[in-house]
Structures are given as structure tokens and as C-alpha cells.
Amino acid sequence: MLCVVGIALGGIQGAAKRAGRMGPTSRAVHAVVDKPSSLVAGGLQGTSDFFTGLKQSPQLTAQNRDLKARIAFLEAEALKTAAESRELDELRALNSLPVHPGREKIYGDIIRFDPFELRMTISVGSNSGVKPRLAVMTPEGLAAIVETVEENVCQAVLITSPSIKLGASAVREGGRVDGIIAGDTPNTLLFEVVRNAPVEVGDKVETSGLSRILPGGLLIGEVIEVTDAPELGSRLIKVFPATKPALSQQVVILK
Amino acid sequence: MSPWKGWAWAALLIWLGVVLDQGAAASFQIGPGRPAFALTFALTIALFIRPSGGAILGFAVGFAAGALSGVGMTAQIISTAIAAYLAAFAAKQPAELAPMPAAAIVAAAVLLARLGTIFVQPAGGIGPYLASASISALLCAVISLAVYPIARRIFQPKEA
């Protein structure tokens, strides 16, 4: 009798299999067995992992320590690589700065930056040919003017310092307007030109070249505000500097 | 104990065995052989009941195994039903079997059940299949040594 039922059940299973289905008997048994069996399997795996962990704890601790050390080393390497990559990009950009006729580029590292004093110390000095009042460039434009020079080091004052006054020109299509630019706040410069001079927000401001020390055409910044000062007979123009020396590591001094 | 209570216990133990077969048997695998918990439980219980009852338990185990594997249900049902019937018959119920002979009967019945399905198993050579069946029979015998006292407590008729 049982054998006959078994044959019948096998027939049902075979028919379902041929039809590409699981069959009612298989589905029913799976329904009552699968969930508890997966719980049992999970419990056994957890127990096995627990005892494996106890047994191998000294090796796992050493391995963990080793991996932590490797991660720290790799993180340091990644930081170093990122810094080197940034430095390389900066050097490439500095290298692509145009060379003015009769001028020479002196590459240097910013070894100290004083945001409140608006000064920077650069790793090249008189031994490399650096002299006072030379232009200090970052890839974006003019950043500072060399003030004091030692044999292997020099100090430069940022162009945003009120102590710096330069001949500058607002440049736009169809002409240029010359004037004097000086530091105003740590983040802006004040460009003074004659009254009614055609200067508008967005105009580029660069060195005028009316000096034997600074070549013309070095980008200083961009006009962000124009105010008329009739009592002074001039226009006062706020300029946002093109450079961010706090973020730079390398500079070029134009000799 | 009432017959219904006995069948309920048997059903519970076989269900537990099927769950262990699916969830835990792989963890206890030795070489190519792994234990068959449900079959072991059914055969151990069969030692304490009549052969026809044993055949029903064997049928249930074969049905569950065939349903879960998805193939060869007929062969599994017939082989396990016959093996359990013979195990119950060999125990000469009611009898006071010692655990070791009981384990030997279980091992022999497992081997018989495995041999019964030899023609429907996936091809892998007769040698490996026999090795797997032998190791499985030994593992089932060991498990039956642990299950035997419980089965005796539940299924052995109380003396008047």
C-alpha cells in the first residue's frame, strides 16, 4: 500500500518536474522545513565562528594589529600621493606661466604663510638671484611682492596688504584704464582710477608694466564693485584677487 | 502513552530530523558521507514499534527527502519504508535491545536504504556512492546511540 502511494507521489513529482515546476509535495515540505533549517544552519555557523574565534584569537589579534598598521601606512601613502599630485599640478601650472622677455623664473616653495601679517616666506633667496620688489606668482596670477631677501630664503608681502601699491590696469575689449592698486582688506584690493574712467564689474585687472621691476600683464584680480568718489575726482574700484596663496605650496619669482 | 501521542512525538522528531538534515548535516560531514538525522530518528523509533508502523515512519522520511531533493521520490519512499520495516522487524518488538545492537541495526538499515536509491542518484561511480553510504551509516549509528535512550523513554510500552 505504502509502495503504491510512493509510486503515485513519485508520478506527481515527475509530472511537475516535466512541466518545469516544483510540485505541490515539494512546496509543502519546503514550506515547513526551510525557515527552521536556515535558523539551525545560521546557529551552527555562528557557534562554529565563535569557537574558531576563541581558538584563533591570538593570531586574529596579531593579524588585526598588522592590518591596522597596513591601513595606517596606506592612508599615509594616499595622503602623501595626493599632496604630491597637487604639488605636481601646481608645478605644471607654474611652468606654463608665460616667460616675459628678459625675465627668468625662479621656482620656490612657500615654507611659511602668515595670514594675519599677509606675508609668506619662500625657500629661495639671493643665492638664486632673488631681489626685493620682484613679483611672486602662483599659477593664477600675481600673489605677492618680495620684500626682504636672505641668502637662501626671502619674505614677500601679499598684494592684499595695504603696504603694497602697484601700477595696474583694468583691461577690457577696446581699451585699458590705468591707475594705482593697493591692498584694502585681507580679501580685496582697492583700485583707484580717474573719474568717469570706463571700468565695469567683471573687468580683469593686471599689472600695468609701467615699472622697471614688475612686468605688465600679470593678472591681479577681477573688478567686483565700482564706486564714484566725486569729492576725490576718482572712481574707487574693489578688486577680488585672482590668487589664493594660502592654498599654494609652490611659487615662481619673476627675476 | 496513547497511540496519538506517540505518533505526534514521532512526527515531531522526524520534522526535527528533516530540519537538521537540511540545516546541519553539512556541518557534520566526514569525507563524502553526511548523517541522515530524519532517517536515524525514524529507524530508532522503529525499533520500539511494530514493523507496519516503522514502514509508515520510513515512508514519511522518504517522502520528505524526495520532496526536498526534487527527484526520485518513489525510490526514496520505497527504500526507506522497507529499511524501517526491516529495522522494526529485526528488533523483534517488544524487545529490550541494548544501545549497541540497536545502533548496529540502524546502521544496517541506513545502508540498505542508501543502496535502495543507488539507481536514482546522480552518476558519480559506484565506489564513491558506497563509501558515502557507509560513512553515512556509521554516523547514523553514532547519532542513534544518543537518540536511543530518548526513544526508549517515549516509545517503549510500559510494563504492567
Q: Do B63 and A11 touch (CB under 8 A)?
A: no
For residue B1, the model assigns a pLDDT of 64
Q: How far apart are the first and last CA of chain B?
A: 13
* Residue A154 pLDDT level (bands cut at 50, 70, 90): very high
Cα distance between residue A104 and residue A107, in whole Å: 10
> Is the minimum CB–CB distance between B11 and chain A shorter than 8 Å?
no
Residue ranges per structural domain of chain A? 1-14+26-72, 97-255
Average pLDDT (A55-71) is 92
* Residue B123 pLDDT level (bands cut at 50, 70, 90): low
* Residue B160 pLDDT level (bands cut at 50, 70, 90): very low
Average pLDDT (A51-61) is 89
Average pLDDT (A36-44) is 88
Average pLDDT (A183-200) is 87
Q: Do B67 and A3 touch (CB under 8 A)?
A: no
The overall average pLDDT reported for chain B is 84
Residue A100: pLDDT over 50:
yes
Q: Do B77 and A5 touch (CB under 8 A)?
A: yes
Q: What is the pLDDT of residues B3-38, one digit of tens each?
A: 788 888 889 998 999 888 888 888 888 888 889 899
**pTM for the whole thing?**
0.53
Residue A144: pLDDT over 90:
yes
Q: Do B77 and A36 touch (CB under 8 A)?
A: no
* Residue B124 pLDDT level (bands cut at 50, 70, 90): low
CATH class of A97-255: mainly beta
Backbone φ and ψ of A85, nearest 5°: -65, -40
* Residue B122 pLDDT level (bands cut at 50, 70, 90): low
Determine which of A118-132, A234-248, B9-23, B124-138 has the lowest per-residue pLDDT on average: B124-138
Task: Tell me which residue has cell 529490550.
Answer: B96
Among chain A, residues having any CB pair with chain B shorter than 8 Å are: 2-3, 5-7, 9-11, 13, 17, 22-23, 25-26, 28-30, 32-34, 36-41, 44-45, 48
ipTM exceeding 0.90, yes/no: no
List domains and CATH numbers for chain B: 3-155 (1.10.1760.20)
Among the listed residues A187, A197, A208, the one whose alpha carbon sits nearest the alpha carbon of residue A237: A197
How far, CA to CA in Å, does A191 sit from each of A207, A221, B37? Answer: 11, 10, 92
Percentage above 70 pLDDT, chain A: 100
For residue A212, the model assigns a pLDDT of 73
Among the listed residues A142, A84, A130, the one whose alpha carbon sits nearest the alpha carbon of residue A105: A130
Average pLDDT (B81-92) is 86
Q: Label the pairing between strands A250-254 and A119-122.
A: unpaired
The overall average pLDDT reported for chain A is 87
- Return the residue in B13, B77, B117, B119 with the most chain A beta carbons within 10 A, the one to mutate for interface testing: B77
Q: How many CB atoms lie within 10 A of CB A102?
A: 7
For residue A91, the model assigns a pLDDT of 82
